[in-house]
Amino acid sequence: MTELEMVKVTEEELHQLIQAKLEKAGLSKEHASGVADTLVFADAHGIHSHGAVRVDYYAERISKGGSNTNPNFKFNQTGPSTGVFEADNGVGHVAANEALKEGMKLAKETGIGVVGVHQMGHSGALAYFVEQAAAQDLIALSVCQSDPMVVPFGGSEPYYGTNPIAFAAPRAGHSPVVFDMATTVQAWGKILDARSRNVDIPANWAVDENGEPTTDPHNVKALLPIAGPKGYGLMMMVDILSGMLLGLPFGKHVSSMYTDITAGRNLGQLHILINPSYFTDLTEFKENINKMVDELHAVKPAKGFDQVLYPGELSNIVAKKYEEDGIPIVKEIYDYLQSDTIHFDNYDKADAFGEK
């Protein structure tokens, strides 16, 4: 495949374009800005699968009534350190962020904050949320369920979603350590990104309708769990914590992103916040994180590597580069953001992989 033309933009320009498009689709200025915050964060850190490539889908869902543009957010505290945030099918990015704030309050007051988000839409890259918590000297672990598009280990048809996990811990004098991963070899958004750039994918990411490996992102019919049975176990754990635990649909019962874009979604998410000062000396803890990073950097690199990085560090390296050079965006997506078009009717009634 031939890679498509790219343009480079600043964070400010990208934010303005995304916010304007989502406002035009029907979101309030506040909520459109909140969604743009998460999408720009993703693109600015090289997580293009969860950045501007998603705007057309969000705009179509919002404009067709599939996202509540005036949700009745409500936090129900269920114990000293626990609670459930009712998202009322509002955009997931904003709901997740508001729920995170409640969890951080609990963690600062009691040492632990565990908050589930009930009936939310897609919330983008989890790294955005855990990084905010770590900036407040908290350890954060966030998980969320997603629609079924992954074959279980040993199976030939989808059951679970990509069910991501994100973790962050504070450091002294440096950006937090942040780690964000799908429990599949690659997230579905990576397939979307490959489609948008018209490039092939590695053969171990996904399978076609016959269950055979495919390198064509347009032929993907199911994703593969990372490390076989280990990734399969992790995606089951995430689904239980962010689905069943909140009384929400689970596994193959989770609603698709595309089947009926006019209907609300019933997704769940769980934020677990830990206050290190309730367990150890905070200053020592943060210095030990620094020491760990230094020791990892000092490990003799394997052939083909310049240096050992901590998990997730590459996104910070990319962010610094993009800050200097600009954020690369597919020109077709950039042109869409600049246009008067709200959406292209690409997703409603499509299958789990966005194909009609």
Over range 155-164, report the average pLDDT. 91
Based on its alpha-carbon atoms, the radius of gyration of the chain, rounded to whole angstroms, reads: 20
Over range 135-140, report the average pLDDT. 98
Q: Does residue 339 carry a pLDDT above 70?
A: yes
What is the pLDDT confidence band of residue 3, given thresholds at 50, 70 and 90?
low
Q: Which has the closest alpha carbon to 3: 339, 349, 331? A: 331
Residue-wise pLDDT tens digits, 237-268? 999 999 999 999 999 999 888 888 999 888 99
327 membership: H or E segment, kind and range: strand 327-330
DSSP letter (8 states) at residue 262 = T
User: What ranges do the domains of the chain cover?
Assistant: 75-311
Longest Cα–Cα distance in the chain: 56
Where does residue 289 rank: exposed (0-12), middle (13-18), buried (19+ CB within 10 A)?
buried
Q: Does residue 1 carry a pLDDT above 70?
A: no
Which of the following is catalytic: 31, 122, 271, 343? 122
The amino acid present at 73, given as its one-letter code, is: F
Alpha helices in 163-250 (DSSP H): 188-197, 229-242
For the domain covering 75-311, report its CATH number: 3.30.1370.60
Specify the pLDDT at position 331.
95
The yes-or-no answer on residue 218 being catalytic is no
Specify the pLDDT at position 312.
95
